[in-house]
Amino acid sequence: MVRSRSASRSASQFERKKREARSSGVASVGAMNDDLCWRAVVARDERADGTFVFAVRTTGVYCRPSCGARRPRRENVRFFADGQAARAGGFRACKRCRPDGPAPARRRTDLVARTCRRIDAAIVAGDAFPRLADLAAKEGMSPFHLQRTFRASTGLSPRAYGAAVRARRARAALGREPTVTRALFAAGYGSSTRFYANARLGMAPRRHRTGVGERIVFATAPCTLGVVLVASTGRGVCAIHLGGSADAVARELRDRFPRADVAPADAGLADVVREVVAVVDGERTDLALPLDVRGTSFQQRVWRAIGAIPRGATATYGEIAASLRPRSGPRAVARACAANPLAVAVPCHRIVGADGEAKGYRWGRARKAALLARERARKH
């Protein structure tokens, strides 16, 4: 392709800039170091977006470093400081990565935020829940692409996000509205059937609204990691907490079930508490208790996956995320671990960072490290 004199001059200036960067010893993508630029292209490094663009002689197209298109041959690639310089060199912008627009991460964030606002608006207005195809059409993309992008950013599908928003509105409305019927319509449910199926209140709606609550009994006992609390409903153990004092773990339980009737248990819970303490102290290998597990559908999927990790073994947040169907993200798995109310029964202490080190833990990193050490010692 014949280039204009101004294009040649721009290219010459670009080459001079690169030579000056090399001679000054500057080693950064922004300084137009060819080797670093190429490494960023090979790695599709989003951090390099906005610092340079690369152009392909055989296609006449320039792209951002993170472009997902097939990688070109190195000898066909040129690097430019920005899109303006690439266009002056006779290249046109890639229609896939749109190098002159905002970075992909920013575009994803904006897209997800717009989709969330549309879902929120429909729920507030009491309209039917937006169809995935309609949400995707608003963004000019396929339903599959929107679903995948939304889940990668939030860990939830658009429908699961909307269900969580409605459930949160339902809990607020039950404390404000005079009747359950008015509360369910105020929360955006079109019928009582959908409300009772999807609200996930953890107790009957009328009890939640009046504050009478559900009967939850608990007991505490000392253990080698401080104090353990075990709480139970009529269906099974709903909470196992670890803490530094009996008052602290009891307060945590009441904060989790603010509208329930929480009271100390009689001697009937003593055997269960002894069993839990034995597991915490490393004297037993597992629990055989009926559990009343309460959480979102996603949280329960994560907790089931964690429960499959053998004693003495560990898994990373990323490995758990990859094992889910559909797949999720490590951050979403970490949030589900942080919400786990059943210490040792749902062994989220077996989840470690990618480097194998114990990371955050709801009941303290030191307790997590101690539990892992005991399990590994007993395994050997």
- Nearest residue to 130 (alpha-carbon basis) of 139, 121, 119: 119
Reading phi first (left if > 0) and then psi (alpha if -120 to 50, else beta), residue 312 is in left
Q: Is 67 a catalytic residue?
A: no
- Sheet of 61-63, strands arranged across: 77-80, 53-56, 61-63, 92-93
Say which of 37, 63, 67, 238 is annotated catalytic. Answer: 63
Tell me the sheet residues that pair with 261. 215
Place of tokens 């339902």: 170
Q: Is 348 a catalytic residue?
A: yes
First to last CA, the chain: 70
Q: In angstroms, rounded to a whole number, what is the distance separating the alpha carbons of residues 173 and 124? A: 12
Q: Between the CA of residue 115 and those of 102, 248, 327, 370, what are the distances in Å? A: 18, 40, 20, 43
> Are 189 and 201 in contact, with CB atoms under 8 Å apart?
no
Q: In angstroms, rounded to a whole number, what is the distance separating the alpha carbons of residues 93 and 55? A: 9
Q: Which residues contact 10 (CB under 8 A, 6 or more apart)?
A: 85, 88, 89
Residue-by-residue DSSP string for 107-158: HHHHHHHHHHHHHHHHHHHTPPPPPHHHHHHHHTS-HHHHHHHHHHHHSS-H
Q: In angstroms, rounded to a whole number, what is the distance separating the alpha carbons of residues 380 and 376? A: 7
Structure tokens at 344: 């040792």
Say which of 37, 94, 97, 348 is annotated catalytic. Answer: 348
Q: In angstroms, rounded to a whole number, what is the distance separating the alpha carbons of residues 260 and 190? A: 27
Catalytically active residues, by annotation: 63, 348
